[in-house]
Amino acid sequence: MLAYPTIEAAESSLGRNLTLPERLWFAYSADKSDYFLYCHNILFLFVIFSLVPLPYVFAELRRIPVFDRHKIQPKFRLSLQEMFRCYWDVMRLFFLVVGPLQLVSYPTVKFIGIRTGLPLPSGWEILMQLAVYFLVEDYTNYWIHRFLHSIVPGHIITFWLWIALRQIEAIETHSGYDLPWTPTKYIPFYGGAEYHDYHHYVGGQSQSNFASVFTYCDYIYGTDKGYQYHKKVLGKLKEEQKRAAQLNGGKRD
């Protein structure tokens, strides 16, 4: 809940006029408790888990060529029933585990300094905090997906953005498609779908590609060697297939 009873009081305390986003935030959050605002995470996660995978579901079912050529494991296909079963398992886990954990983790969020008041963070501040959130979570996730032990204090809006972006990233990483036009291709040291798919492709004996977002931990600890070798072999195989196709084409001419 905001500490200011009116917009005028907020402007007087800050010594400036509120920006449009700050006025909108004031109008929405002024009479809502911090705990209620924090519980928005559950709604955001539900929407993300339900809507973000839909393009991948459509691509998998329709086998659209522009998507199909970027499928990491072309021989592996999922039926609508199998995808719905996966969604049901995710939702069951969400309502029985993730949702309740969100409700009871509020004291931790307050302890690390997530705030709901004014002023709102600047765009640069949000970008810097999101970078820290991803780096800290990525490093801790490398070690058996342990819980966050510290993240920098920030605003609840930054926290919401991080929760949303992290889940969207996880959906993309597990989609089975290495799409060349995804914006994450331009993020330095980002693993992506192809990188993380190798971790699942190897199966229970996997000792490679543990990192959840970035690749630096696997590089530092040498747990990407299997993937790099696998990628090198596939690259040679594709080159040989390409040369063979060109030779066959020349013979037909």
Q: What is the pLDDT of residues 46-94, one digit of tens each?
A: 999 999 999 999 999 998 888 888 998 888 888 999 999 999 999 999 9
Give the single-character DSSP code of 190: B
Q: What is the mean pLDDT of residues 144-148?
A: 43
- Residue 26 binned pLDDT confidence (cut-offs 50, 70, 90): very high
Crossing angle, helix 20-29 and helix 7-14, to 10 degrees?
130
E strand or H helix that includes residue 103: helix 99-104
Q: What is the pTM assigned to this prediction?
A: 0.67
88 or 224, higher pLDDT: 88
Cα→Cα distances 226→70, 73, 176, 199, Å? 22, 17, 19, 10
- Min mean pLDDT across 114-118, 138-142, 164-168 is at 138-142
229 pLDDT above the threshold of 50 = yes
* Segment among 43-52, 218-227, 239-248 with least mean pLDDT: 239-248
pLDDT at 142: 67
Backbone angles phi, psi at 6, to 5 degrees: -140, 165
pLDDT tens readout for residues 113-124: 889 999 999 999
Q: How many CB atoms lie within 10 A of CB 173?
A: 20
Instruction: Report whether pLDDT(204) > 80.
Output: no
Which own/partner contact pairs does 35-39 have at CB distance under 8 Å and 24+ positions apart?
Answer: 35/106, 37/116, 37/156, 38/102, 38/106, 38/109, 38/114, 38/116, 38/156, 39/102, 39/103
Q: What's phi and psi for 135, nearest 5 deg?
A: -65, -45
Residue 147 clears pLDDT 50, i.e. is over it: no
- Greatest alpha-carbon pair distance for the chain in Å reads 82
pLDDT score recorded for residue 171: 92
Residue 238 has a pLDDT of: 82
What are the residues facing 115 on neighbouring strands?
155
Q: What is the pLDDT of residues 55-68, one digit of tens each?
A: 999 999 998 888 88
Tell me the average pLDDT of the chain.
86
